[in-house]
């Protein structure tokens, strides 16, 4: 598996991101004051940093109750929101997305506390410059950027934490929940999913391979998103809507694991050219709040531009196979948690 040029190393990936910022194409409308989320419970993963914190800030401004699902900065991130917006309705919950037991415990905690989720924004992601193993022996980037998202989705849907008819029979009339995944347009350069090496730990070293695998994992994620959207609709009407968005270049902490010299250079480029998280988060909030998206599913935004994902992610046979293989892998590492919560 590989990427084919634009996303083959951190510098060309950054250049591509900056170039995309200045391309003119059809865009979504700006957010309006009427795009409100009062009364909605919104769960955001990785909400303590970068884009996730920007998303949480917008959600607070739009009147949502925000559940910040994080592995660090608890309760710091919530306190920062509360200080800035005294009326903010926020709570923080611990989850380490590289650890399947932690995801189970997190979902069980939501269930125990009768928390329901109207909108999921699964944002957390990593770009390690060298391979790191999870407690289950998987690659951390594969786990955090893809497999955790599959597992969390299964648990939220099967347990009815995201109300729905297809899995849990507890849908609320007139309300279609939304699941929004933060992806990356770099997936467009990744080669097809290699099922022979699916989930197999690769001991890569160096940022070039890291960037390449990042794009590849986003391709896997997008293939899952298309398949999930398909599985969560009946006769073309979504029971739960599923969307994906690439935020474009964001001045976040995503390069925290880059080697020191590259990190210093990239930090400068990020600060000069990349969007502030609060700006990059605006189209994510559009996807969460726009009434015209009611009844839609499977849409993709690249920043504020609607477009198609790479054609590979729409192959139904690949989507079906990915689902099977992922469910088997998730089941093999799911040693804790009630049966209803497993993949």
Ligand X SMILES: NC(=O)c1ccc[n+]([C@@H]2O[C@H](COP(=O)([O-])OP(=O)(O)OC[C@H]3O[C@@H](n4cnc5c(N)ncnc54)[C@H](OP(=O)(O)O)[C@@H]3O)[C@@H](O)[C@H]2O)c1
Which stretch, 83-91, 243-251, 297-305, 319-327, contacts ligand X (CB under 6 A)?
Answer: 243-251
Sole binder of ligand X in the list 1, 43, 44, 51 (CB under 6 A): 51
Strand ranges (E), the chain: 41-45, 65-70, 89-94, 119-122, 178-182, 233-234, 237-238, 241-246, 300-302, 305-306
* 57 touching ligand X, by CB under 6 A: no
* 72 touching ligand X, by CB under 6 A: yes
Q: Which is nearer to ligand X, 111 or 147 (CB)?
A: 147
Q: What pairs with residue 45 in β-bridges?
A: 69
Q: How far is residue 221's CA from residue 147's CA, in Å, rounded to a whole number?
A: 8
* 287 touching ligand X, by CB under 6 A: no
Sole binder of ligand X in the list 59, 64, 124, 287 (CB under 6 A): 124
Site residues for ligand X, 146-185, by CB under 6 A, read: 182, 184
Which stretch, 27-35, 41-49, 152-160, 168-176, contacts ligand X (CB under 6 A)?
Answer: 41-49
Q: What pairs with residue 205 in β-bridges?
A: 130
Burial string for 282-318 (b: 16+ CB within 10 Å, else e) reads: bbbbbbbbbeebeeebbbbbbbbbeeebbebbbbeeb
Which tokens in the block code for residue 96?
Answer: 């380490």
Q: Which is nearer to ligand X, 107 or 182 (CB)?
A: 182
* 97 touching ligand X, by CB under 6 A: yes
Which tokens in the block code for residue 76?
Answer: 């710091």
* 189 touching ligand X, by CB under 6 A: no
DSSP secondary structure code for residue 110 in this structure: H
* 298 touching ligand X, by CB under 6 A: no
* 222 touching ligand X, by CB under 6 A: no
Q: Rounded to the nearest 5°, which phi and psi values hold at 128?
A: -65, 145
* 210 touching ligand X, by CB under 6 A: no
Q: Contact positions toward ligand X, by CB under 6 A? A: 46, 48-52, 70-72, 95-98, 123-126, 144, 182, 184, 246-247, 249-250, 252-254, 256
């Amino acid at each position: 598996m590989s990427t084919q040029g634009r996303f083959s190393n951190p510098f060309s990936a950054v250049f591509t991101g900056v170039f995309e910022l200045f391309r003119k194409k059809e865009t979504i409308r700006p957010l309006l004051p009427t795009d409100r989320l009062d009364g909605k419970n919104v769960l955001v993963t990785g909400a303590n940093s970068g884009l996730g914190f920007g998303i949480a800030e917008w959600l607070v401004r739009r009147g949502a109750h925000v559940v910040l699902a994080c592995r660090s900065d608890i309760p710091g991130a919530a306190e920062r929101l509360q200080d800035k917006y005294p009326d903010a309705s926020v709570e923080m919950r611990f989850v380490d997305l590289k650890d399947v037991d932690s995801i189970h415990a997190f979902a069980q905690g939501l269930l125990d506390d009768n928390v329901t989720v109207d909108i999921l924004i699964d944002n957390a992601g990593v770009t390690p410059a060298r391979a790191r193993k999870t407690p289950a022996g998987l690659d951390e980037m594969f786990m955090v950027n893809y497999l955790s998202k599959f597992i969390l989705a299964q648990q939220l849907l099967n347990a009815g934490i995201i109300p729905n008819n297809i899995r849990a029979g507890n849908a609320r009339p007139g309300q279609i929940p939304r699941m929004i995944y933060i992806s990356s347009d770099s997936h467009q350069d990744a080669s097809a999913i290699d099922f022979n090496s699916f989930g197999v730990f690769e001991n890569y070293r160096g940022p070039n391979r890291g960037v390449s695998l990042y794009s590849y994992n986003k391709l896997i994620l997008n293939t899952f998103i298309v398949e999930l959207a398909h599985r969560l609709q009946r006769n073309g009407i979504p029971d739960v809507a599923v969307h994906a968005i690439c935020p474009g270049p964001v001045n976040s902490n995503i390069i925290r694991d880059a080697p020191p010299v590259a990190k210093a250079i990239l930090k400068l480029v990020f600060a000069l050219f990349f969007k502030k998280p609060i700006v990059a988060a605006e189209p994510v909030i559009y996807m969460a709040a726009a009434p015209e998206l009611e009844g839609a599913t499977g849409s993709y935004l690249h920043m504020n531009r609607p477009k198609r994902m790479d054609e590979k992610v729409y192959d139904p046979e690949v989507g079906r196979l990915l689902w099977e293989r992922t469910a088997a892998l998730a089941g093999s590492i799911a040693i804790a948690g009630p049966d209803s919560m497993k993949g």
